[in-house]
């Protein structure tokens, strides 16, 4: 069969049919996978919350709050035990001053502000250097770099080079600074959220402006 001639009509029709079919197929696939993608994302978030907080029974309604020093709001996930006592709050925080831009972190705080754990959700830091942060700051055997169990209100959450109390990742001071900035931002916003119970008890999902 000979190839179709490249007349104006032929070309227009062909391109139209090709793009139309492609768009239809993609629409179907999108519909098919939409629920699973949302589920996978939620699972990842759930897993991160569970790993940064002590054992809890139920997760309260999440709320959002704008930090003082950032443009995007942080998301708070309060967790309660069987008797409805607050055991901790997981805060989804971020920083844009990473070595390669955005770093997103889930940090867990006990009601009195002590860090119970953290999990790096998203980052583009250098593999082998800055990417170590997910393990670095929770190494229990190295108290200089471990931040778990510390309170950003009482110890100085800055790298040693800047006069703080935390050992930076070897050869990744910028990443370390950014990481601590995100954690401190979470802490400060968490503190101000506690001072304004009207907002923190707001059961809606969109408590703050995003």
Partner 1 sequence: MNQLQNFTKGFIKENPVFVLLLGMCPTLGVTSSAINGLGMGLATTFVLVMANLVVSLIKNVIPSKVRIPSFIVIIAAFVTVVELTMQAYLPSLFESLGLFIPLIVVNCVVLGRAEAFASKNTIVSSIIDGLGMGLGFSFALTLLGAAREFLGSGKIFDTIIFPEDYGMLLFVLAPGAFIVLGYLIALINRLNKA
Q: CB of 17: closest distance to partner 1 in angstroms?
A: 9
Nearer to partner 1, 104 or 200 (CB): 104
Nearer to partner 1, 5 or 112 (CB): 5
Nearer to partner 1, 4 or 142 (CB): 4
In the Cβ-directed half-sphere of 127, how many Cα atoms lie within 13 Å?
0
Residue 52: count other Cβ atoms within 10 Å of its Cβ: 25
Nearer to partner 1, 43 or 96 (CB): 43
Q: CB of 119: closest distance to partner 1 in angstroms?
A: 13
Which segments of 58-209 are extended strands (E)? 58-59, 63-65, 74-80, 86-98, 101-109, 115-122
Q: CB of 101: closest distance to partner 1 in angstroms?
A: 12
Q: Give the residues across from 93 on adjacent strands.
A: 105
| Footprint of partner 1 (CB under 8 A) | 1-7, 10-11, 14-15, 18-19, 22, 25-26, 29-30, 33, 36-37, 39-41, 43-44, 126-129
Q: CB of 139: closest distance to partner 1 in angstroms?
A: 14
Q: Cα dihedral sign for 95, 152, 50, 70?
A: negative
Cα separation, 119 vs 115, whole angstroms: 12
């Amino acid at each position: 069969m000979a190839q179709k001639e490249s007349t104006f009509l032929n070309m227009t029709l062909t391109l139209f049919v090709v793009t139309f079919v492609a768009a239809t197929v993609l629409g179907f696939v999108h519909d098919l996978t939409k629920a699973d993608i949302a589920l996978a994302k939620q699972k990842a978030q759930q897993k991160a919350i569970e790993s940064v907080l002590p054992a809890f029974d139920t997760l309260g309604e999440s709320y959002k709050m704008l930090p003082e020093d950032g443009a995007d709001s942080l998301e708070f996930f309060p967790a309660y035990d069987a008797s409805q006592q607050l055991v901790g709050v997981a805060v989804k925080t971020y920083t844009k001053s990473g070595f390669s831009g955005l770093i997103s972190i889930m940090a867990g705080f006990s009601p009195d502000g002590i860090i119970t754990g953290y999990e790096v959700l998203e980052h583009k830091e250098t593999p082998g250097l800055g990417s170590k942060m997910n393990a670095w700051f929770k190494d229990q055997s190295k108290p200089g770099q471990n931040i778990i169990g510390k309170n950003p209100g009482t110890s100085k959450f800055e790298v040693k080079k800047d006069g703080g109390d935390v050992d930076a990742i070897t050869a990744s001071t910028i990443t370390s600074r950014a990481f601590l900035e995100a954690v401190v931002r979470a802490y400060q916003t968490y503190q101000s959220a506690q001072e304004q119970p009207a907002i923190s008890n707001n059961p809606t999902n969109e408590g703050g402006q995003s």
